[in-house]
Amino acid sequence: MAKGASLTVRIPELLKKRIEARALREHRSLSAQVEHELAHFFAAERVVGPTKAGRLIGRYAGKRIPSAGELHEVRASLWSRLQGDAP
């Protein structure tokens, strides 16, 4: 993968030492180890479409996720019931 971006961060000294130790064990440079850790962290994140998964996504595991229109319809129905507009 071509690398064209750089990132400068400040981290606690102890965290840096832990990353350096892991990089040494894994035979990577410090930069390569940080890249590896970040890539691993973000690969584990569940993403649905172009946005990050929200609180409800676990409720739909293995099921069809409702469309925005369907959610809007349910929200409108619930709101009208709370307001006493529905039978």
pLDDT tens string 18-77: 999 999 999 999 999 999 999 888 887 665 555 555 566 666 677 777 788 888 888 888
Q: Spell out the long-range contacts of 48-56 with Cβ–Cβ below 8 A and sequence spacing 24 or more.
A: none
pLDDT given for residue 82 in this prediction = 83
d(CA 2, CA 66): 38
Alpha-helical runs (H) found in 26-67: 30-43
Q: What is the pTM of this model?
A: 0.50
Q: Which residue has the higher pLDDT, 78 or 85?
A: 78
Contact in structure between 57 and 46 (CB atoms under 8 Å): yes
Contact in structure between 33 and 19 (CB atoms under 8 Å): yes
Confidence of residue 81 (pLDDT cuts 50, 70, 90): confident
